A and B are shown apart, each in its own frame.
Chain A
């Protein structure tokens, strides 16, 4: 299935990050929310992003996929400064960056399976939807039974799994997940974490925003993960002391 392909390590030299932030600052209009942030996500790495509610985790992720432009500094995705990207180039970039939003949204008039396949549809690869990949992916996230249902019928955890499936169906090089375990119980959050760890083992770069420290501890046993912590408007690499 498409998740087996591993393009990230081939297409990126190891010394450049898949996503790089250089002296980035961001402000919604008031004072600076994030200041002087320099972070590099190496290909194939696994990062957690943590910090108290309102610290700017979602903002940080939005900077990473060009939904927001930094008010100072540079954000480079696959080596290209997001500020210089045309809108169509942003669209192409997003096909290589799978995003799970904190408030996952779907096209409510299409079935769950169609929603998961949406990235293929909009990039002109709709014929692949009928292939075995979609079914395999739906099994992988445990949504085979819900495939023909509509998104509003899904539970919170099912929505987040569907969003994760949608984020990875294009076999992106990077997966950015914003609180993907936000409204699920411990078992389900473990399952979602397993999915992300599995993706990382296939070579995807993963950045997972969460304020759930026990989730981070659970992950550390299985994957070499780095923890970025936002505090006082800066991003610091947290030590082993969680």
Chain B
């Protein structure tokens, strides 16, 4: 490549003379600025989406991996016996870290919102709940269910995974899509800069011929172009990121509700991730322009 790693500091510092030999290009320059700003703005949202769904996936995954419930639905006289039997089964189930029947007081608290404080639990056939905390690997729900049907007819295993698994998969897919969108946006920046650089190089073919004739090296000529496009992509991107972050910051938050939409945004160090975008765009523009210039220059002796 005609722009070596070592020439990058000099490249960024700039050479007023080298910049002057390529004519200024008002309108296309503004288009490049605008496009990279728009791309950065979109990338901020893609990042917010994937970071938020990543957080959601992690939380759901944790809960899902760690808890399950067994309901013992049995006539009052058999409830205690079946609960004990279920706990015995759980003791010998691999992957179960802890199993505990909820006390009357705890069940009362759970039901209080619906039936009030004075529910006579000991006289009503309310199912007994057993809370299972699994080890990190988790247990096999199908095996446990089979054993329970054989030994504890009234036990129903409520594996939260049954309803959370698709949600978790969706959250994970959403995170992947978010990252994919961010990568696509950066690829579009590369394509846009390549097109703009090619147009600029073609428009300046005579300038390049004259420069080569009077003894300019390829890297001297390329730098004038590379510096411009790197700077435009960077500056546009800064503007886009600032506006994007502001928009995310101003988005209404949903208090403590579990809503997904209200959770879109950045948390903690996540706010720093979009700040990388201008540097990535700048680097992409540098490589894309250097590549385009290298190809254009090879056609001119």
**B21, B206, B219: residue with the most chain A Cβ atoms closer than 10 Å:** B21
B284: min CB distance to chain A, Å: 25
Over the window 121-160 of chain A, the binary record of Cβ atoms lying under 8 Å from chain B Cβ atoms (1 yes, 0 no) is: 1110010000000000000000000000000000000000
**Which stretch in A6-14, A41-49, A101-109, A227-235 binds the other chain?**
A101-109
Residues 195-227 (chain B) with a chain A CB within 8 angstroms = 206-207, 209-220
Q: Are A99 and B216 in contact (CB under 8 A)?
A: no
Instruction: Check A91 against B217 for contact (C-beta < 8 Å).
Output: yes
Are B218's CB and A107's CB within 8 A? no
Contact flags A34-71 to B (C-beta < 8 A → 1, else 0): 00000000000000000000000000000000111000
Asked if B123 is at the interface of the complex by the 8 Å CB criterion, the answer is no
**Cβ of B213 and Cβ of A88 under 8 Å apart?**
no
A107-B21 in contact (CB<8A): yes
* Per-position binary interface string of chain B over residues 71-110, scored 1 when its CB falls under 8 Å from any chain A CB and 0 otherwise: 0000000000000000000000000000000000000000
Q: Known contacts A67-B301, A107-B207; decide if A91 and B216 are in contact (CB<8 Å).
A: yes
CB distance from A113 to the nearest CB of B (A): 13
Please indicate the chain A residues that have their CB under 8 angstroms from the CB of B23 in the complex.
107-109
Is A92 on the interface with B (CB-CB < 8 A)?
A: yes
Task: Determine whether A90 belongs to the interface, using a CB cutoff of 8 Å to chain B.
Answer: yes
* Residue A95 interfacial (CB < 8 Å): yes
Query: If the complex has contacts A94-B214, A107-B207, A107-B210, are A118 and B21 also in contact, measured as CB distance less than 8 A?
Result: yes
Q: State in angstroms the CA–CA spacing of A61 and B218 once bound together.
A: 22
Cβ–Cβ contact A122 & B213, under 8 A: no
Distance between Cα atoms of A88 and B217 in the complex (Å) = 5
> Among B17, B206, B215, B297, which residue has its beta carbon within 8 angstroms of that of A119?
B215
- Determine the chain A residues whose CB is within 8 A of the CB of B213 once the complex forms: 94, 99, 101, 105
Return the contact of A66 from the options B206, B214, B217, B301 (Cβ within 8 A).
B301
Cα–Cα, bound, A101→B213 (Å): 9
Chain A's interface size range is 20 to 34
Most buried by A among B17, B18, B209, B212: B17
Q: Is B6 on the interface with A (CB-CB < 8 A)?
A: no
Most B CB contacts (10 A, CB to CB) among A93, A105, A118 go to A118
- The answer to the question of B20 belonging to the interface, with a C-beta cut-off of 8 Å to chain A, is yes
Per-residue B-contact encoding for A187-217, CB less than 8 Å = 1, 0 else:
0000000000000000000000000000000
Check A68–B17 contact: CB distance below 8 A.
no
* CB < 8 Å neighbour of B215 from A67, A110, A170: A170
Q: Which residue of A lies closest to B301 (CB)?
A: A67
**A122, closest chain B residue (CB):** B216
Knowing that A122-B214, A122-B215 are A-B contacts, what are 4 other residue pairs whose CB atoms are under 8 Å apart, sorted by A's residue number? A90-B301, A91-B217, A94-B214, A121-B21
CB<8 Å pairs between A and B, sample of 24:
A68-B301, A91-B212, A91-B215, A91-B216, A94-B212, A94-B213, A101-B213, A105-B213, A106-B210, A107-B23, A109-B23, A114-B20, A118-B21, A121-B17, A121-B18, A122-B18, A122-B214, A122-B217, A122-B220, A123-B215, A123-B216, A126-B17, A166-B214, A170-B215
